[in-house]
């Protein structure tokens, strides 16, 4: 079978939702044992829980950004207790609704933890979500697992003697993506808007699209400097230079995809033309990314102009 035919078959498989496991499950299944790394005296990065978790430890309690998967929640919370002297988790942020970040919501919510997220994230968690490109249906979370405090644009809070800044990233990976920034530690939690070794995924079912990913990446760039430690949804700590590389990749692909769509090309045609060729060594297999980006861009044709 030719390369072109193999690519076309794979895209059809992905678009039909017939992949062997949901995308988020496949990502989290690759995670190692849950472990903590100290970024500063008060800030920890916990990996291996399905998604990266940032922990701010203060004398009166603990703030967490994201909570791993449900399957690894117990181990994650055990590690957090050990690393923070058994202090209670008072506040939890969800950077989006996907299960690799919301798996500790129920346990912590039942214990009275304040859960903060964008309003769109709460709505996705509270309702059944049918994700066609995964061929999967996500059931609503029980009431104790839902965010208790939501916002639409941005906010700040003081936790112990630390300031936490957070804001909406627009229609990016989803339309409920947020960042959390710890200015004193100079740690920026980007969630799944930033990825390592895989293309950032525009989940068009929950409002994500390629142009929004590009804009969100620019928002993160504006928050960071050369010394900022940037925490992606999964994978090792990144730098502003890494974030710039992602922005350049997304900008280039948005321009190319728009041009190819104006020429009447499909996602399969774009892959056959090698649209991502020079980026694949860094960001991996492009088929699912291109398929989702293509679907999402058709929902924004008025913004792109001249396609139909």
pLDDT of amino acid 288: 98
| pLDDT tens sequence across 250-273 | 999 999 999 999 999 999 999 999
| pLDDT tens sequence across 68-113 | 999 999 999 999 999 999 999 999 999 999 999 999 999 999 999 9
Domain layout of the chain by residue ranges: 18-259
Give backbone dihedrals phi and psi of 118, rounded to 5 degrees, phi first.
-65, 150
Measure the CA–CA gap between 153 and 124, rounded to whole angstroms.
17
Measure the CA–CA gap between 93 and 237, rounded to whole angstroms.
19
| Residues 260 and 176: beta-carbon distance below 8 Å | no
Is the Cα torsion angle 48, 51, 54, 55 positive or negative in sign? negative
Integer CA distances (angstroms), 232 to 27, 87, 114, 206, 260, in order: 13, 25, 23, 20, 30
Q: How confident is the model at residue 13 (pLDDT cuts 50, 70, 90)?
A: very low
Measure the CA–CA gap between 53 and 101, rounded to whole angstroms.
8
Measure the CA–CA gap between 127 and 143, rounded to whole angstroms.
11
Q: With both helix axes pointing from N to C terminus, report the angle between 240-262 and 287-298 in degrees, rounded to the nearest 10.
A: 60
Q: Record the pTM.
A: 0.90
Give backbone dihedrals phi and psi of 37, rounded to 5 degrees, phi first.
-125, 130
| CATH dotted code for 18-259 | 3.60.15.10
Measure the CA–CA gap between 21 and 15, rounded to whole angstroms.
13
Average pLDDT of the chain is: 91
| Cα–Cα nearest to 73, from 109, 120, 118 | 109
Measure the CA–CA gap between 46 and 219, rounded to whole angstroms.
25
């Amino acid at each position: 079978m030719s390369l072109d035919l193999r690519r076309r078959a794979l895209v059809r498989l992905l678009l039909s939702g017939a992949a062997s496991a949901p995308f988020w499950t496949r990502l989290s299944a690759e995670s190692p044992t849950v472990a903590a790394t100290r970024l500063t005296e008060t800030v920890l990065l916990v990996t291996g829980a399905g998604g990266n978790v940032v922990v701010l430890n203060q004398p009166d309690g603990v703030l967490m950004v994201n909570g791993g998967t449900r399957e690894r929640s117990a181990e994650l919370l055990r590690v957090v207790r050990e690393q923070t002297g058994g202090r209670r988790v008072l506040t939890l942020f969800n950077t989006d609704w996907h299960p690799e970040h919301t798996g500790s919501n129920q346990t912590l919510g039942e214990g009275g933890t304040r859960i903060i997220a964008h309003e769109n994230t709460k709505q996705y968690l509270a309702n059944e979500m049918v994700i066609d490109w995964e061929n999967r249906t996500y059931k609503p979370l029980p009431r104790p697992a839902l965010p208790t405090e939501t916002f639409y644009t941005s906010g700040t809070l003081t936790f112990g003697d630390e300031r936490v800044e957070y804001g909406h990233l627009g229609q990016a990976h989803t339309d409920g993506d947020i960042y959390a920034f710890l200015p004193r530690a100079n740690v920026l939690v980007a969630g799944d808007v930033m990825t390592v070794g895989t293309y950032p995924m525009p989940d068009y079912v929950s409002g994500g699209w390629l142009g929004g990913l590009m804009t969100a990446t620019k928002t993160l760039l504006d928050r960071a400097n050369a010394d900022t430690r940037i925490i992606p949804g999964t994978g090792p700590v990144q730098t502003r230079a890494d974030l710039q590389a992602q922005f350049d990749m997304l900008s280039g692909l948005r321009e190319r995809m728009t041009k190819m769509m104006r020429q009447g090309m499909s996602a399969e045609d774009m892959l056959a033309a090698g649209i991502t060729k020079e980026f694949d060594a860094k960001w991996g297999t492009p088929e699912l990314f291109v398929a989702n980006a293509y679907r999402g861009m058709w929902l924004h044709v008025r913004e792109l102009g001249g396609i139909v």
